[in-house]
Amino acid sequence: MNASTLPGSLEDIATELRDAPHDLLLEVLLEYADRLPRVPERLADRPEGMEQVTECQTPFFLAAELDEDGGLRVHIDCPPESPTIRAFGAIVVEGLAGAAPEDAAALPDDLAERLGLGSAITGMRLNGMVAVVRRLRRQAQALQEAEATSS
């Protein structure tokens, strides 16, 4: 991943969001929020299964793992009552599906800004999104290290 592009489908999603008329951006985000997949039953037993992002105002939990092909799979749990951070989670899940762990480990802190969300949400929500990115990066780095030691 170079400095100007995002990994996986995130770049396509970023283009879609940046190109959306400002008055429709929240509607597009609500559509993403509705698409957030349910967390697999095996990860539902928190805190062991998923890591809480305590910097978020909303209860937000995430877990990154590798699929059978070595691509990234991100799981996020966030209540429907928090559609903007839930939408961000859905974007991350969809945009990084199957991506290389090193791509997720290189996500920029300003991912939400690159997605065009800076003008649509509050600074507190942006801070929570930065914390989500940092936790995801750390988990992706741990997956890389685990793969390196098992090879």
Where in the chain are the domains?
10-145
Q: What pTM was estimated for this model as a whole?
A: 0.91
Structure tokens at 5: 């592009």
Look at residue 2 in the predicted model and tell me its pLDDT. Answer: 46
Cα–Cα distances in Å, from 16 out to 24, 46, 49, 55, 119?
11, 33, 32, 27, 15
Residues 6+ apart with CB under 8 A from 41: none
pLDDT tens for the 151 residues of the chain, in order: 444 679 879 999 999 999 999 889 889 999 999 999 999 988 876 657 799 999 998 999 999 999 999 999 999 999 999 999 999 999 999 999 999 999 999 999 999 999 988 877 777 788 999 999 999 999 999 999 988 888 6
10-145 CATH: 3.90.1010.10
| Dihedral angle, C-alpha 48, 53, 54, 60, nearest 10 ° | -90
Look at residue 44 in the predicted model and tell me its pLDDT. Answer: 77
Look at residue 151 in the predicted model and tell me its pLDDT. Answer: 67
Which region holds residue 127: left if phi is over 0, alpha if psi is between -120 and 50, else beta?
alpha
Strand partners, 52: 61
CA 14 to chain centre: 13
Look at residue 147 in the predicted model and tell me its pLDDT. Answer: 83
